[in-house]
Amino acid sequence: MFEKWKLTVRTFRSIHSSIRQAKADRRRYLEMPAAELAGVPDDRLADAVFFRADHKVEQAADPARGIAALNAAQKVVYTIWLFDTETNNGGVCQFFQNSSRTVTPFVSDCLAGIGADEHKKLFDGLLERRPELKRTDAPGQWTETVPPAEIEAFDEALFALPPLSELLLLFIREHLQEL
């Protein structure tokens, strides 16, 4: 019993420490001059740039206005980071269930912007077959009309493609001055 308690406390402390570190990183990236982004390691760069764009979106009265305030490169990073993170965490279902669905209208163009043509074709095909997924104001309502097998097939096809994170990193490195 005591060993379980020690493990739970250790796990809690580890999670708490990770959260504290993530908050400190976010503050550091927000305060970092754009010229210093070039020195951020590849494994942290997408997060750093996303945090900066996300901060702009959060400052707006609503997400649509926040996204509209982003420049083209920031919009690409913001959109692709959300799409990639959500789909990697819980598949396309999670993307459409969560608030990340607000970027749905931008996903196709942003995928094209980073050279993810096969991803774009897959995403566009899903929206063509299921236009109800284009709604950004109705989380969950589409789950009754899209068969789980179709969602699973999309996820399998998506995960068979090259990781978006690699294409996004190349895009970020090419557009650092705009981010």
| Tens-digit pLDDT profile for residues 81-131 | 999 999 999 999 889 888 788 899 999 999 999 999 999 999 999 999 988
Q: Give the count of beta carbons closer than 10 Å to the beta carbon of residue 126.
A: 20
What pLDDT score does 140 carry?
A: 59
CA distance 17 to 22: 9
Q: Is residue 62 part of a domain?
A: no
pLDDT the model gives residue 55: 92
- 92 Cβ neighbours under 8 A, 6+ residues apart: 126, 151, 154, 155, 158
At how many degrees (to 10) do helices 148-160 and 117-129 cross? Answer: 170
**DSSP assignments along 72-86, one per residue:** HHHHHHHHHHHHHHH
Give the model's pLDDT for residue 101. 85
Distance CA 47, CA 26 (A): 9
Task: Please give the helix or strand (H or E) that residue 49 lies within, else none.
Answer: helix 42-59
User: Does residue 25 lie in a domain region?
Assistant: no
In the chain, what's the furthest Cα-to-Cα distance? Answer: 56
| The model's pTM | 0.84
The ranges of the chain with pLDDT < 70 are 1-12, 14-17, 138-144
The CA distance from 176 to 178, in Å, is 5
**Domain assignment present for 59:** no
Asked if the structure places residue 34 within a domain, the reply is no
Examine residue 36 and state whether it is found in any structural domain, yes or no.
Answer: no
Range of the domain at 142: 71-178
Report CA Rg, the chain. 18
Residue 58 included in any domain: no
**Is residue 18 domain-resident?**
no
Instruction: Classify residue 99: in a domain, yes or no.
Output: yes
- How far is 52 from 48, CA to CA, in rounded Å? 7
Domain count, the chain: 1
